[in-house]
Chains A and B, each alone.
Chain A
Amino acid sequence: MSEITLREINNFACKDVSLRIKRGEILVLLGPTGAGKTTLLNVIAGLVPYHGTVCINGDVIDHFTTSQRNVGYLFQDLSLFPHLSVASNVAYGLTVRKALHREKRVDELLRLMKIGHLAERYPGDLSGGERQRVALARAIAPAPKILLLDEPLSSLDFRTSRYFMMEIRRIQRALGITTLYVTHSLIEAREMADRVGVMHEGRLEQVGSPEDVFIYPANERVADFIGPTNVLDCEASEMLGRGLVEVCCGGNKIIVPYDGGEVKKISISSRHIYVSREKPPGPMVNRLRGVIEEVMVSDLVSRCTIKIGDTFFIAEVLQDVCEEMDLSPGREVFIVLKLKWINVIEGEGVVHG
């Protein structure tokens, strides 16, 4: 198992990126298109020029060429060699390195990937899922120190990609290989990551556990990306003591857990806003009354836009629950904001988990 450290990486797409990928973990790098995620993989692989330092297990590898770095790289388009059979594709890295016991290793990997029956086939004759397995087997065949996966599931349908998430996780666990996984899919990040990093315009905005990043985004850019998240500007804040602050957002008083002074901005994930047709029991603290403006259905959830005072809140409700509660535009509803899910956005700095 290897540990990868990046220090102050700068180039045309990355700005001062520092990151440590722990031994044997999957770090999922999230971010919109053009955030510099793939470029960061290319930096580690030595495929693009950069300033800064890349270390594997403490050893600086900046002076190594790509072929000397011993990284496994699964490209987004997989790039299986069309002129080589499946077995030859998997064996490629072993052949060019003149590794011993090539056939045995290829057989092992074909079995691990459940593609032994495809050994003599050519990539052009494979399905998307089969190609995925072959590409992954080829990337890990030379026992690389780090596995770089660039949106490996983007070309698969939802069902197949869910299956492959589990497969990649299983294989990564079995081999214990340190992995940097680039995607813009929040589902993949939630399902696969030991830790999540969010990039935006070349900067690493936040690194932490999936829970940290999804519930407590470090800044508005992270919140925007992992959204739909409600980011609210606070017009006023008043210390209540005991680690609580009362803030006023768009005319609504909300109590937030904070002991750092003045609060300027808070965020609440739309998944963590509780919606009710009935007035919730207890005092009306962090319980707000509003009117549904819009209900949008996507996949398994309905996204309700609720107007409360001058502010619009977005709340995600499971689709069958939404139908059961008959949530529709014009309905009066109550929302409950649990202290646990209210996040105070402090500043611009990177939060490392």
Chain B
Amino acid sequence: MIKEPTKGSDAWGFAPIVLFLLVWEIASRSQILSVHHFVPPPSAIVEEFYWLTMEGELGVNFLSSLSRVLIGFCAGSLAGFLTGIIMGWNEIAHRTFHPIFSLFYPIPALGWLPLLMIWFGISEALPIALIFISSFFPILYNTITGIKAVPKNYIKVAETLGASRYKVLTTVILPLALPNIFTGLRLTTGMAWRVIIAAEMVAIPTGIGALLMRAQNLIRIDIIIVCLVILSIMCLAFERFFLFLERRLTGKWSRHV
């Protein structure tokens, strides 16, 4: 007999993490590892996190990265979503733009960096444009896929019931395309954080990525790990946010589609 997972079983998810941190702490403090200088104990990392926060350095850099991600991600997603609707709904638009977009889609987001550096220079527009590009294409193609995957009979039923083309789009097609669109959003949000860190490491003097590079120059492993933990938490938090939103909007019915 298969047991239903219980609430208590969630605690087991944290147990390995706690154990890992404990082993790490002990190993680092007892200097068992030959490279213990390069692996500070978790307690030292937490302490550094506290000081970085108190001095305001972490906050300033974090907010720089966050604002870039939010602006680039929202703009790129919105543009991808709207373009996706047009291309998914209108066959002529799809046939016109698909060949063009399919040329650009395979280019990795960071591949655009040299070109964008020349176009925008070292400015706020550079990382935002980079995140815009990295968000635009996945959302575009997930929206198109979502719209095209809606069974044609739903559209016919809506029309026979008196729905105009606009109503069919807003009341049938888009709601049914939501699961696909959310998959795109969840994939993109992690991508946006990875891209911003990379861009800040290479070309931008502020942000978590820039802080990482400075820490690397000073061989401050503790700061590097603080930055990596923040990056991990933000990727996870954004993904969880969209998962939560998806469940709220589609949870009651999407399992049957």
Which A residues contact B (CB, under 8 angstroms)?
A: 45, 47, 65-73, 75, 77, 79, 81-83, 92-93, 95-97, 122-125, 138-139, 141-142
| B153 and A79 contact, CB distance less than 8 A | yes
Q: Is the CB of B160 within 8 A of A72?
A: yes
- Beta-carbon contact of B164 and A67 below 8 Å: yes
Chain A residue at minimum C-beta to C-beta distance from B252 = A122
**14 A-B pairs whose Cβ atoms sit less than 8 Å apart in the complex:** A47-B159, A67-B163, A73-B156, A73-B157, A75-B157, A79-B151, A82-B257, A83-B175, A83-B176, A92-B158, A96-B162, A122-B253, A124-B257, A142-B162
Task: Considering the complex, give the chain A residue whose CB is closest to the CB of B178.
Answer: A83
CB pair A47–B156 under 8 Å, yes or no, is: yes
Whether the Cβ atoms of A66 and B160 lie closer than 8 Å is yes
Q: How far is the CB of A244 from chain B (nearest CB, A)?
A: 52
Please state if B161 and A138 are interface contacts (CB–CB under 8 Å): yes
What mask results when residues 127 to 169 of chain B are scored 1 for a CB within 8 Å of chain A, else 0?
A: 0000000000000000000000001011011111111100100
A123 to B72, CA, bound (A): 38
Determine the chain A residues whose CB is within 8 A of the CB of B159 once the complex forms. Answer: 47, 65-67
Instruction: Give the A-binding residues of B (Cβ under 8 A).
Output: 151, 153-154, 156-164, 167, 171-172, 175-176, 250, 252-253, 255-257
How far is B164's CA from A83's CA once the two chains are assembled, in angstroms? 19
Tell me which residues across on chain B come within 8 A of A47, comparing CB atoms.
Answer: 156, 159-160
B253 CB, nearest partner CB in chain A, Å: 5
The answer to whether A124 touches B250, judged by C-beta atoms less than 8 angstroms apart, is no
CB pair B156–A75 under 8 Å, yes or no, is yes
- Taking CB atoms, residues of chain B closer than 8 Å to A45 are 156, 160
Determine the chain A residues whose CB is within 8 A of the CB of B256 once the complex forms. 82, 122-125
Residues of B within 8 A of A65 (CB): 159
Interface contact B175-A79, CB-CB below 8 Å: no
Collect the chain A residues with CB atoms within 8 Å of residue B162's CB.
67-68, 70, 93, 96-97, 142
Known: A77-B153, A79-B153. Contact between A96 and B257, CB under 8 A?
A: no
Distance in angstroms from B20 CB to nearest chain A CB is 41
Q: Is the CB of B171 within 8 A of A96?
A: yes
Cβ of A96 and Cβ of B253 under 8 Å apart?
Answer: no
Q: Complex Cα distance A66/B153, Å?
A: 13
Most buried by B among A70, A71, A73, A96: A96
A79-B154 in contact given A96-B171, A123-B256, A124-B256 (Cβ < 8 Å) = yes
